[in-house]
Chain A
Amino acid sequence: MTAVRIALFVTCLADTLFPEVGKATVTLLERLGHEVVFPQGQACCGQMHINTGYQRDALPLVRRYADVFDSCDAVVMPSGSCAGAVRHQHAMVARRYGDERLARAAQAVAARSYELSELLTDVLRVEDVGAYYPHRVTYHPTCHSLRVLRVGDKPLRLLRNVAGLELVELPGAEVCCGFGGTFAVKNSDTSTAMLADKMRSVLDTGAEVCTAGDSSCLMHIGGGLSRLRAGVRTVHLAQILAATRTGPAGPASAGAP
């Protein structure tokens, strides 16, 4: 297929806390023969503000996203929930404050914004990315990937094509891990109860790696597993897909908290 020029929206979380996820996204897309650009003006999609009730404070972030990615053919982000915010909330925020022009601009950019597994399977039409990852892995479909973006089995199709990878089904996979952004702080007890059940499901699989398309949910699940010294690590989908037998992002290098 012809090379596509893809703008990376790395997300504020991956930029600051999980840069390996951003690097893996770049490595993967470049290995597939595409050009990746990183518009420096980017920062955050504003999801935290929107979902905590601070929509007015999200407005400059919505405007910034629309401005920065205005002329890009395709924008990719290693996050289902950020893609969900861009596609389902940005125009809504603009309209709440009567900015119809921004709402239309936001919608136009949103239509070209993709979560990683969507970009790979829907736009680049690839399911076997040539990855090698010899580990027992379980996949948690994050809520916004599953129910806002409706990515369905796209991540699983990508994972099934990874050489060496043993994919184990996660019991109760579709149940929320309890993260929910500021929910994990405002309702930390309920969040912890949900996390406990998710961790039990992960541990029941006997997998050594729990993967997902969102660093935020992985930070939550991984933070719980790490606290319990459970011996299971969380690794972003991008890191698994970027791993090869010989490449720089080899199997041992991937690892969130």
Chain B
Amino acid sequence: MTTFLGMPLAPPGVGHLRGTEPFPVAARRALGDSQLRRNLRKATTTIRAKRAAAVGELPDWERLRDAAQAIKAETMAHLDSYLEQLEARVTERGGVVHWARDAAEANRIVAGLVQATGSTEVVKVKSMVTDEIGLNDALAADGITAYETDLAELIIQLGEDRPSHILVPAIHRNRAEIREIFLREMGDVDPALTDDPPALAEAARLYLRRKFLAARVGVSGANFGIAQTGTLCVVESEGNGRMCLTLPETLITVMGIEKLLPSWNDLEVFLQLLPRSSTGERMNPYTSMWTGVTPGDGPQQFHLLLLDNGRTAALADQVGRAALHCIRCSACLNVCPVYERAGGHAYGSVYPGPIGAVLSPQLTGVQDNATLPYASSLCGACYDVCPVKIDIPSILVHLRARHVEEERQQRRLPSGEAITMAAASWVMADSRRWQAAQRAASQAGRVLGRGGRIRRLPPPLSAWTAARDAPVPAPVTFRQWWHQEHGDQPRHRNQAGRGDQA
């Protein structure tokens, strides 16, 4: 006899996939921060326009999206064999491949690899996955200091802050705030430092150069891993990644298992889609690729760590698995009206915005991120811009259903909302019951309404009337009017109300 234990999820207590409060509560606080609102509005508006212009240049954009979607779907369908292929190629070329079930295991492996070098410092390329697993905290616990070298990640690290965007993690900070952080935390900065962006960049450059030249271990994520060749690829804008990937003696790359592409040729599609979607550039400034170890050139020790941390569980969900196609461009964040107003921190997870709302609950289990699938008006703007055509609204709707179904199984008594929904379904499934409910609504409306509008409704509808008037139900419903005007004629074939007994 065998017992199915379920797919391993990202464990609690390690990493940054779970928030400490529900989305509506965190969002409410963020909405009140006028500086944050201004920073987000300005940044997302600018980047939206840049993306739209860059995308508009390509006549075959929609075909590129179709190709990317097909490549990713094929990759996920054969992920097991592609991963083994990648492992074999990397090993052949002198790299060492490690497999980590979850964040805790990944952190242990990386810390052990760093300790084996005798180093107590690492320089890091910006990477979502190492933030997902909370690597910096884990390394610190083992006496290893991790230095973020991406400008925005540096701002976050120095400010003891949390990233709020996939691509521009300090999007919630403006330059005056950044100047303050640098003056306070960098130690030897010229006090005359202004908030002029080139001056801020120069201060960061001087600070980081010392780290690059001293570091013996580099840690990176990966944008793509090519199964066919064993090549890893990082795309970036600042050149800090190139420094970290080439200067240290040892390079440790942490890669989620979904970052795979089958063949080298697939990069043709993805290297067109990613920069245009992400920064609105035709091509990103730095594209670094490496395959295992090259004697006399670059790091002479290379470790590739392949991370699950809930990804196999997502892969097991026939609808939800498309979220694994994500290439972390963040175009969906920049067009999302919810993200633009609530900001990234409200999502709790390192993956914010629409993609985070479908990815985080799948990695942790829906119950641990239960408010995220509802953190969307389902406006669909995210789907339109997604370079790999992830139907995010449909996955959100699917995860809401998963949440409701899990709640139904776990609760001894149904929630008030579940009772209301079941009652509404019962009423609406029969036209006599529906007409009775309409009459009741009309009577209630006449009690509550003043001057053709309702200014206050009882909870939970009080959330509506906090900022909006509600309409008063009409004294004569449409169907009553129809009956008065038309009687039973003209009578439609179905007019007797087939299915009323349903």
Contacts and interface: CB of A to CB of B under 8 A. Distances in A.
Given A67-B499, A147-B381, A17 B337 contact: no
B418 A54 contact: yes
Contacts of B490: 35, 37
A257 B421 contact: no
Interface stretch (B77-85, B119-127, B477-485): B477-485
Nearest to A183: B377
Contact of B378 (A70, A143, A195): A143
B381 A61 contact: no
A31 B434 CA distance: 30
Contacts of A168: none
B31 A22 contact: no
Nearest to A19: B478
Given A40-B497, A187-B338, A187-B375, A192 B467 contact: yes
Given A16-B441, A190-B31, A64 B338 contact: no
Interface in B10-62: 23-24, 27-28, 31
Interface in A162-208: 174-176, 178-195
A33 interface: no
Contacts, number: 242
A38 B337 contact: no
Contact of B502 (A60, A70, A191): A60
Interface string B469-502: 1111110111101100010001011111111101
Query: Interface size for chain A: under 10, 10 to 19, 20 to 34, or 35 or more residues?
Result: 35 or more
Given A16-B477, A53-B401, A193-B31, A41 B376 contact: no
A41 to B, nearest CB: 3
A121 interface: no
Contacts of B404: 52-55
B428 A61 contact: yes
Contact of B421 (A49, A179, A256): A49
Given A44-B428, A178-B337, A192 B24 contact: no
Contacts of B377: 143, 176, 178-181, 183, 191, 194
Contacts of B383: 147
A120 interface: no
Interface string B328-372: 000000000110011000000000000000000000000000000
Interface string A203-226: 000000000000000011011101
Which of A60, A176, A187 has the most C-beta atoms of chain B within 10 angstroms of its own C-beta? Answer: A187
Interface stretch (B240-248, B276-284, B288-296, B458-466): B458-466
A144 interface: yes
A72 B438 CA distance: 26
Contacts of B434: 12, 43-44
Interface in A27-43: 35, 37-43
Interface residues of B, number: 76
Contact of B495 (A35, A39, A227): A39
Contacts of B428: 12, 43-44, 46, 60-61, 64
Contact of B499 (A19, A41, A54, A144): A41
Nearest to A229: B469
Contacts of B430: 43
Contacts of A174: 381
| Most chain A beta carbons < 10 A, residue from B375, B377, B430 | B377
B499 A49 contact: no
B73 interface: no
A97 to B, nearest CB: 11
A68 B341 CA distance: 42
Contacts of B455: 227
A69 B468 CA distance: 35
B494 A68 contact: yes
Nearest to B418: A54
A7 interface: yes
A125 to B, nearest CB: 24
Contacts of B287: none
Contacts of B1: none
B379 interface: yes
Given A51-B397, A189-B28, A195-B467, A180 B379 contact: yes
Contacts of A71: 493-494
A223 B469 contact: yes
A135 interface: no
Contact of A63 (B403, B479, B502): B502
Interface string B430-456: 110010001001100000000011010
A232 to B, nearest CB: 13
A50 interface: yes
Contacts of A257: 452-453, 469-472
Interface centre among B23, B337, B384 (most CB of A within 10 A): B337
B194 interface: no
A20 B430 CA distance: 23
A188 B464 contact: yes
Contacts of A61: 425, 428-429
Contacts of B498: 41, 67-68, 70
Interface string A2-26: 0000010010101111111011001
Contacts of A148: 380
Given A43-B429, A54-B421, A191-B377, A15 B384 contact: no
A99 interface: no
A117 B26 CA distance: 40
Contact of B500 (A12, A41, A193): A41
Contacts of B460: 185
A124 interface: no
B92 to A, nearest CB: 45
26 contacts: A10-B478, A15-B438, A16-B438, A16-B441, A22-B481, A37-B495, A41-B497, A49-B425, A53-B401, A63-B499, A68-B497, A69-B494, A143-B378, A179-B377, A180-B376, A184-B464, A184-B468, A186-B374, A187-B338, A187-B375, A188-B463, A188-B467, A191-B377, A192-B466, A194-B338, A219-B470
Given A23-B481, A54-B401, 12 more contacts: A16-B442, A38-B492, A41-B494, A53-B397, A54-B404, A57-B421, A60-B428, A185-B460, A185-B464, A192-B468, A194-B337, A257-B470
Interface of A: 7, 10, 12, 14-20, 22-23, 26, 35, 37-44, 46, 48-58, 60-61, 63-64, 67-72, 89, 92, 96, 143-144, 146-148, 174-176, 178-195, 219-220, 222-224, 226-227, 256-257
List the 8 closest pairs (A to B, CB-CB), nearest first.
A180-B377, A223-B468, A53-B400, A41-B497, A176-B379, A53-B404, A147-B380, A188-B463
